Each structure stands twice: as structure tokens, then as C-alpha cells.
A and B are shown apart, each in its own frame.
Chain A
Amino acid sequence: MSRTLAQKVWDAHVVRRADGEPDLLYIDLHLLHEVTSPQAFDGLRLAGRKVRRTDLTIATEDHNTPTDNLLTIADPVSRTQIETLRANCAEFGVKLHPLGDPQQGVVHVMGPQQGLTQPGMTIVCGDSHTSTHGAFGALAFGIGTSEVEHVLATQTLPQALPKQMAVTVTGELPPGVSAKDLILALITQEGTGGGRGYVVEYRGPAIEKLSMEGRMTVSNMSIEWGAKAGLIAPDETTFAWLKGRNFAPKGQDWDDAVEYWRSLPTDEGATFDKEVFLDASTLTPFVTWGTNPGQGASLDSLIPDPESFGTDSERAAARRAVEYMGLTPGTPLRDLSVDVVFVGSCTNGRLEDLRTAADVLRGRKVADGVRMLVVPGSAAVRAQAEEEGLHEVFTEAGAEWRFAGCSMCLGMNPDTLAPGQRSASTSNRNFEGRQGKGGRTHLVSPAVAAATAVTGHLSAPADLDAVGAR
């Protein structure tokens, strides 16, 4: 029978299937960080249980860590949480990449860069952006702390089979339009609940042409439109990216693995419960104006009138968002001045993202009054970027070149917006207060972030060229 990529991965991991019960799925890789794990380890201790497979479990420190130094966590509560992770990993025998370790970084950057994330795997983490790993053709999804405890104890999870959706992206992305613009446009098209209940497969020529970094950006934001997971079929791009990485199979194992991975893409004739389409060639740089990732628009457009939306609920949400964001409907998005630009996060904190931002900034300056933070997704990304001299481009432009971590994505460490400050951010959530209480977030691509830093208001790189030509 013809099956989808997700069905194949699912079927290969069913430990037990019984009528009227969810399937019991085996988990190949369990990623941990300090925020969602302490109560899970506590649960194990209370029940006298151990970690079933320490060899399939790995931890890093990212959400609470500072990005201005590698030694001191000033906030005692954050420090306690980090120290608790260290103590738990030591007690239960779990490998940890702590602050200062060459592999430390945002959990969804750390896994792929080491080759831990591979096609056909099941991967979970107590973090909603675990969907990132779907870019490799893995079934990867975020879980809560109760489930973290469950996976630690059993290496399995009871899961009801989700529905399947295909997102076909036809055409070709125009120059200057990135994976981030693509996924932001898709979320606005489908709404924050559009993917709910589905495992999504992104496919079509525009997806196939994306680099692994671009694919990770797309899969990363699956959760922002409610999808359980977002997979992309493994192909030569995937294999080339993986080959030679620390945990990639070697020798005969590599050949066996590739042969298996080639069997994973969705069969001809396999059916999806739902299909949606997006034409990449119509896309432009895309940004959010509101307080959920579905409230987005082309950078070329105006702040929408809340009364123009179709339902009471959307109108109410838009009115609230416009008020919170301090916007005037009808104003061009390009007129919005920002205080802070953030380049980083599990969405856009990889080497390619930093290269893109650096290309825009090279020979230019961050505008007066704008603070720009560039935060590599991991210590390894930081080291690679420095090898390429990207850090010099950033610092010469007047941006801050920082250490790896979640940083300003989520207001849990010292990198936050002050109340009322407006940011252009390459992260994934523009929720009220997400980057700090009272902060106002516009989600953007790395290219738009860098161009915005130069002009001081929302801009695309093409706008800079226009200025130069005058």
C-alpha cells in the first residue's frame, strides 16, 4: 500500500498497537534542556525509576543562559535551574553540553549540527520547536514535561495517529525571498490553527531547492500554525549535509542507512487527508504586524484595518493586536521604526542565516539608536562564523556579537526588550511579551533583519540598494 513519509516513519516505530488505544511509539532520540526537564527528573526520583536509554538521550543548556559571557549566570533562579540540570544529568547518567562546551547551543541547532538528527528517526524534546528536525525526514515533535518523564522512563510515547497534510510549494522563490518569508506567508494564509491535528509534509520544487538550513526554518515554524510535526523528504541535499558529521553513520552503516533513507519519501499514489498549495514565485519579503504568527503581511503592504477581517473573533484579535503593538492602520509597514534587531534562535540562528545577515551588513552601519544583537544558535556555529570572519562584519557594523543561546527569542534570560520597545526579530513568536514584558515583536527573515538594522525601520535589502543608487 502506498504510504506517506510520515506513515513510514510512524509504522517503523510502533512498539504496540491495540484497538481503542493510542499506538505506543518508540523514540530514537530524546533531547533535553533545563526548562522542561527538572520536574520530569523529580518524577523519576519519586517513583524510583531510572532513565531507560541514556544512550538515546542528550541535554544542553540554552533557554536561561547568558549570551554576554560563558561563566556567570547572574539570576539565581536561572542559575538554580541550570545547576539542577547538571545535577540531574550527573545522577541519571545523561550526556550534557553545558555552557562553555564546544557543542553547547540551542537544542534544535545542537542536534542537527552533530549529525544526531537523521532521516526516519522519531525525535522528541520538551520544546515545541522540536518540529525543526522534521527537515531531515524525521518525525519530530514537542512534548510536555509529563511526556518528558514518560520518555525518560520508557523510551516510548503513547500517540494517536494524526491526520496527514501535504503542503505543496510550487514555483521558485524570487531572489531575496527566503525560507522564513515562505513559512511566514504560509502561516498567514492558513492561520495559527490551520495545521492543528495534522502531521504536515512540505514538498514541491520550492522546498526541494531549499538548503538544509532553509528547510529547518520551515519545519521549525510548523508549530506556529498548529501542526504536530513538519516533515520534508530526505534527498541528496540531506545526505550531503549529514555525511561526515560526528554521529552520522560511517562505512557500511552509512551505505545501509542511505539505502533505507531513500525508501522513506512518500510513495506515488499515497493520499493525504488535506492538501494546501502555495506559489513561491508570488512571495515577497514577509513580516508580522500583530501578536500571533498568523498576523503577517508582505513588507510592501500597509498595517491592516482590524475591521477588514472576516470574523468577529479575528476582528477582536486584530483590534487587540494593533493596540498592543502601538500601530495605526493604513501606515506602510516600512514606516515602522525599530529599537532592537535580533538575529538568532532555533529558527534563524544557523550559519547560513548569519552569512545572509552579514552579506547585507558588510560595509554598512547599524542605524543610530538601533541595538542589533547577533546570537549564533550554537557555540559551533559561532566558531564557524568566526572562521569566516562574519563576527568582524557584525562588530564593524556596530552590532553585538554574542555567545550562543535562545537569547531574545523568549524573555527568559538577560536579553529582553524593555516595555514599549519594538523589535525586528528572526525568531518564531510575536506573542505579547514574548521578548520581554511590553515588548513589540515583528517576525522577519535574516535579510530583512539586517536591512532593518541599517535603515532603522522595517526594510528589505533591495531598499538599501535603492538608497545607494540615488
Chain B
Amino acid sequence: MEKFTVHTGTAVPLRRSNVDTDQIIPAVYLKRVTRTGFEDGLFSAWREDPSFVLNNPAYAGASVLVAGPEFGTGSSREHAVWALNDYGYRVVISPRYGDIFRGNSLKQGLLTVELPQAAVEALWDLVEADPATPIEVDLVAREVRAGGQSWAFSLDDFLRWRLMEGLDDIGLTLRHEEAITAFEAHRPAFGVLVG
């Protein structure tokens, strides 16, 4: 996973709430067995509409997505995160996320920043007035800066550290393999065994 400290880029205003993972990437794109190349599926139904914001050339090359509340609700598909990453996003900003999506994003180096609705509205106004507005997302300081304003966000210390170091969870857990083995020795006899 790529290390994340500070990212500066332009942003797309997605003025919608409840953007579920079926919208981020419809199920037909989930049949693939690869881990990359999902950019074609990103918002594919909405992208057919020429007036959809991602089709506006002014927002081409944006790397920050600013969306309404309840972003990424629904299906657990990590493909939603892969599609956002593959399309070129490094950061999503929304007032609230679906839990599983949020967990998936932070494991894949896609920083999902939670800011209050008012901050999201302010960012929408800024980037709609000038799509070239640079948005600075500072994980070290836990702050978003744009248009002379700044907004603090919170993120758990452990998650922040893992993102900043670009660490892989499995490697971290396997450092405690002895504890896992010790736990397994004391599982109840009536526990289910499939095999």
C-alpha cells in the first residue's frame, strides 16, 4: 500500500446522498477475478448521462471526490474502492460513510475523510465556482485546506499510522501468531469444524 501523508489535488462535487456501492460499481463489473482495471465500472450507469459531473471536462484529472452523506452504504464489495482508486481518486470527503466501505478504503490507501455537512457544502461551492481550486488533504495534521479555509477531521491514531506507513494488515497480525496459536488451544470442544 502506498504511504499517505499529504495529498493536493482538484475535486469533483458529487451532490448526492446515499451513494451506495451498487452505484459506485454495479454488480456486472464484479464478475472479474482481477484486482485492477475497474475504472470503467465507476459510476457506470450515471456516467451514461452527459450531464453527470464526472463527464464535465472541467473536473477531468480530479483526485478528490466530495460527496453527500451515507457514501458507500450497502454491499461489501471492495471493488468500489478499487474502482475509485483505479479512476484516480486518492481521497473521498463525505459527512458519513457505510462502515464496510470505510474499512475497505482505509485498507487500500484511499483516504475517506469525514467532514460535517457544512464543510462539504463549502467545498462544493468552492469547486463549482472554480474547478481548478486545489484541495489539500493533510493526514499528518488531520486537516483539509482549500480556498483559504481549513477543516479539521478526526481519524483513529492507529488507522492514521497504518496509512502513513503504508502497512499491510496481514503482516502486522502475523507478528502475533503465537497469540493466535495459544488462543486456538483453548477453543471449546463443541466448536464447529467444517472439515
A residues sitting closer than 8 Å to B (CB atoms) are: 15-16, 20-22, 24, 26, 28-29, 35-36, 38-39, 42, 47, 49, 52, 54-58, 63-64, 75, 77-78, 80-81, 84, 95, 115-116, 118, 121, 126-128, 142-147, 149-150, 153-156, 158, 160, 192-193, 196-197, 223-224, 226, 228, 247, 249, 253-254, 256-257, 260, 291-292, 294, 313-314, 316-317, 320, 410-412, 429, 431-434, 437
Contacts and interface: CB of A to CB of B under 8 A. Distances in A.
A144 B174 contact: no
B69 A144 contact: no
Given A95-B194, A292-B70, 6 more contacts: A24-B173, A121-B192, A146-B104, A256-B190, A316-B15, A437-B26
B3 interface: no
Contacts of A147: 103-104, 107
Given A35-B30, A55-B193, A144 B169 contact: no
Given A143-B100, A146-B78, A15 B174 contact: no
Contact of B100 (A63, A144, A254): A144
A398 B69 CA distance: 43
Nearest to B104: A144
Contact of A128 (B68, B69, B74, B183): B74
B7 interface: no
Interface string B173-195: 11011011001100111111111
Nearest to B45: A433
B195 A55 contact: yes
B20 interface: yes
Contacts of A24: 173, 176, 179-180
Residue picked from B18, B70, B104, B189, most chain A C-beta under 10 Å: B18
B91 to A, nearest CB: 18
Nearest to B23: A432
Contacts of B129: none
Q: In the A-B complex, list the 4 residue pairs whose CB atoms are closest, starting with the nearest.
A: A144-B104, A38-B33, A144-B78, A412-B27
B81 interface: yes
Interface string B1-39: 000000000000001111010110011101111110000
A64 B31 contact: yes
A55 B99 CA distance: 29
Contacts of B63: none
A128 B33 contact: no
